[in-house]
Each structure stands twice: as C-alpha cells, then as structure tokens.
Amino acid sequence: MLTGLTLTEARAGLAARKFSARELAQAHLDAIGRLNTALNAYITVLPEADVLASADAADARYAAGTAGIMDGLPIGVKDLFCTKGVRTTAASKMLADFVPPYESTVTANLLNAGAVFLGKTNLDEFAMGSANINSAFGPATNPWKRKGDEATALVPGGSSGGSSAAVAAGMALAATGTDTGGSIRQPAAYCGIVGLKPTYGRCSRWGTIAFASSLDQAGPMTRSVADAGLMLEAMAGFDAKDSTSSNRPVPAFHKAVGKSVKGLRVGIPAEYRAPGLPAEIVAMWEQGIAWLKAAGCEVVDVSLPHTRYGLTTYYIIAPAECSSNLARYDGIRFGLRKDAPSLDGVYEATRAAGFGQEVRNRILMGTYVLSAGYYDAYYLKAQKVRTLIKRDFENAFENVDVLLTPTAPSAAFAQGENMDDPVQMYLNDIFTVPASMAGVPALSVPVGLNDAGLPLGLQIIGKHFDEETVLSIGGALEAAAGFTHTPSIHAGAGA
C-alpha cells in the first residue's frame, strides 16, 4: 500500500523502480479525494496535473541518476508557508485569497530536493491554537477514534493539525509544520506520528507567515524518526534573508537513527511530574524510562526550577510578538480590505472581519502587555524569566545528554471540549512550551495507546543544535515501542 509507506521506504522503492513517483503521487491524490471531506486536513489541494507533472520530473531524475534526497516524495505543506503561485491563507479570512509571488525558503529547499507538493494543510488561524478548531476554513479532524465511539470527532492537535491528520491518515507521506509553543509536537502526539521541532535558527523563517518571531520554527512531521531526520536535512540550512538563521553545517540527520545510545545520560525533570497528571501519562513515561534503561542509557533526575513559569511567560511574550507582527494586516497593502468612510474605519472594519476570535484575543493581550505602564511589569519581566528558563536547560545539559518527558498532558480530546475555557486549552502546551522558550530541539515519538485506543507520545529534548542525539534517542524509543497502529480513518482502510 503506497499510502502506508514511510519516506525512507518510499525513497528506497523509487530508487529500485518498484513503483514510480507518478504512481505514488496518484495514490495520495486518490486518498485525499476520498478522505479530505471527512478530515478537512487540506485547505487547498494542488491541481492533479501539476502534482503529476512534478512526479514525472522526479521519475526522470531517478532514471538519470540525479535524484535528490526528497525526490518524488509527496508531502503536505502547512498553509503558513508562502508558496509561489499557490494560495496561502494562514487559515484566516484575512488572507483567504492571498497568492504569494515568492516561495518560502523552507519550501524552496524541499522543492530543490525533489519533493512533490500535494497541497496546503489546515491549521489554527495564524498558528494560534492547540486543537485546529480556530481555522476560518473549518476544523481539521483527527483520523483516530475512541474505542467503541466512532461518532465523536476528536481534535488532531494544533496548530499543525491538518499536517498531523494528513500524515496519520495516509494523505501525505510527511508534512511541514511550524512550532511556536508545541504546534508540531502536540499534534504529532495526538495523531500517533513523529514531530520534530529543530533548534531555533536551524530552519529559515523567511516566507513563513509570522506569529511570534522569536519562537516560530519550522520542522518535519513524519511517520518515523528516520524520516524526520531525512526531511530536516532538506528543510534546514543557512539563509541570508533570515537574520536569525544559523550558519552551521547541516548534518546527515537520518544517519543518527540506529546508532547505539548506550552510555547516554537521560534526564527526568522533576517539575514535569505535574499535580493531577493522568495515570496513563505517568505509566507511559515510566515505560519510556524503562525502555531507555534497557537500551543502555543512564537515567538521571534533574531539576528545571523555572518550568512552572513557562506557560505564563509564553502567554505574555507570544501575544506581544503576535500583536506586533499582525499589525501589518491593515487592509491597505495586501489581504482583505473592508471599505469605510475614514482610514481608521478601514483598519477597524478590515481587522474585525478578517481576524477570528482567538487571534483577536491574542492581539489584545499582546497590545496590553506592550502598552505604556505595563511593558516593564509584564513583557520585560517575562523576558527575564525566559532567560532563567533557558539557563535551567543549560545547567541540566551540563550533566545529561537529553531530557525525557511526556509530550502532552492527555490524549486527543473531542471537538467542542474545553472550547469555552481558554486557560484549559492553553494547558495543552504545558510540556512543550519550555523547550520553545529555550530554543532547544525537541522530538515527539508515538509510544503506545491509552485504554481508549488513542495514541500517546513522549518528548525528547536536546541541547542546542544537537538534533542528532535527540534523533538517536528517539530511534531507540521508537524501536522499543514498536508503534505500528493505524487510525480508524486511513487511506488503506477497506483497500
């Protein structure tokens, strides 16, 4: 079944001419045609002729022996990356008809490596949310169902929920995501796939629609840890157009998977044992610790004392940066415009019509903490606490190689749950936000199912620019867990 392959398997099959890139692309287009109405994972699906033309070009490169590392591999692109000539909406009415005249650096790198784009995946509007329920194009739906309950639709996580749902359901071999406070890792855990947030600066932000510039980072969402390494190789690299882009060389990340992890020290942060953490999450975490011990790792207790301030600090800094970044949507230069008798009226009418409720909430929060009289009390203090959070990680990494934590405090919940309680919704990111605040790499790996039959993930956090060790540990965890489950809604179901 072509839609059930990993990137690594598909690449090997293409190289051996077991099937063509055209056949692979067509299988995924067919899957999208069957499943996208139910899952709403894609906002825009590229024309079949364009997708197949890209696949044919990849087949020609395989025949000529000039194939790149992503050649012929059909993937989804989160609709936050600008794609030249292809509508890019950020899941917002504000950009509902925006067609960029340029390509983001990350997607350009993937195209240069031969990737075949299937379409633009759904997300929370401007990447603000943890459940993909804030999209102007409707919510994306998790392909997993609770055991014995086929009727209840579950969230795929957010903000990269369309990407995670597409990969889990067999509608793409992999997809790009962005992670500001957990938006790759949490949806990966909810959908039973692998999600990697690289070190801040590893992938260029140029051409990616901004939410919070000091936190946003692109990364891969895949079916295996090796796939995440392979795709990151194609996505990463220095970009002179992004002042925060790192000039470090890009290693062969996928080769880190399968390396021995014997002797590596794994830290277990005491602060992540949060009060009220569900027993199923604790049990899965303890199982992960046992698996790594069996693989030869040394497990060490560590402390990250400022972790408890991570979420509150994030929800000051991220909205502040959002308020600044989204000021550009004024109805004058691009995007939606609502006419009014005065200039101020144009601004007000355009922004009221273009932004959804969650985006408006965050703009208001951000504007408040940046306003005169509150800047020092909130924003400046949050930046100081962020420095302390980063220092906690640096101190911990003097004694350990990686940290192991849960990815999320629960499995996927139902659409409609928690919607009236924004604080409860924000708590979904409690385990992912600290790594984002510190700018360190973090990987979510699916390790099992809970009693309701839903996937759970564990998170590996590493040192700055040490994605290779993170991937090595992730590979060991993946091999021990042997997670091979498929969701209820899948391209191969009934095939």
| pLDDT grade for 421, boundaries at 50, 70 and 90 | confident
pLDDT in tens, 31-86: 999 999 999 999 999 999 999 999 999 999 999 999 999 999 999 999 999 999 99
Report the pLDDT averaged over residues 143-164: 97
pLDDT in tens, 423-455: 677 778 899 999 999 999 999 999 999 999 999
Spatial separation of the C-alpha atoms in residues 42 and 166, rounded to whole Å: 8
Report the pLDDT averaged over residues 214-227: 98
Sequence-separated (6 or more) residues with CB below 8 Å from residue 84: 100, 101, 102, 103
Examine the pLDDT at 494 and tell me if it is beyond 60.
Answer: no
Give the catalytic positions in this structure: 78, 159, 183
Domains, the chain, ranges and CATH? 2-264+399-481 (3.90.1300.10), 308-385 (no CATH)
Mean of all residue pLDDT scores within the chain: 96
Beta strands 265-269 and 74-78, pairing class: unpaired
Whether the CB-CB separation of 487 and 191 falls below 8 Å is answered with yes
Whether the CB-CB separation of 96 and 89 falls below 8 Å is answered with yes
- Beta bridge partners of residue 75, listed in sequence order: 117, 174
Q: What is the pLDDT of residue 423?
A: 66
Q: What is the pLDDT of residue 417?
A: 84
Examine the pLDDT at 334 and tell me if it is beyond 90.
Answer: no
Phi and psi based region of residue 127 (left: phi greater than 0; alpha: psi -120 to 50; beta: remaining)? left
Task: Give 334's DSSP letter.
Answer: S
Q: What is the pLDDT of residue 495?
A: 45
Q: What is the pLDDT of residue 491?
A: 87
Buried b (16+ CB within 10 A) or exposed e, 408-436: bbbbbbebebbeeeeeebbbbbbbbbbbb
Percentage of residues of the chain with pLDDT beyond 70: 99
Specify the higher pLDDT residue, 424 or 457: 457
Spatial separation of the C-alpha atoms in residues 76 and 141, rounded to whole Å: 16
Rg (CA), the chain: 21
Examine the pLDDT at 468 and tell me if it is beyond 80.
Answer: yes
pLDDT in tens, 375-397: 999 999 999 999 999 999 999 99
Examine the pLDDT at 493 and tell me if it is beyond 90.
Answer: no
Q: What is the pLDDT of residue 225?
A: 98
Buried b (16+ CB within 10 A) or exposed e, 15-31: eeeeebbbebbbbbbeb
Segment among 82-91, 285-294, 382-391, 412-421 with least mean pLDDT:
412-421
Examine the pLDDT at 152 and tell me if it is beyond 60.
Answer: yes
Q: What is the pLDDT of residue 425?
A: 73
Report the pLDDT averaged over residues 279-285: 97
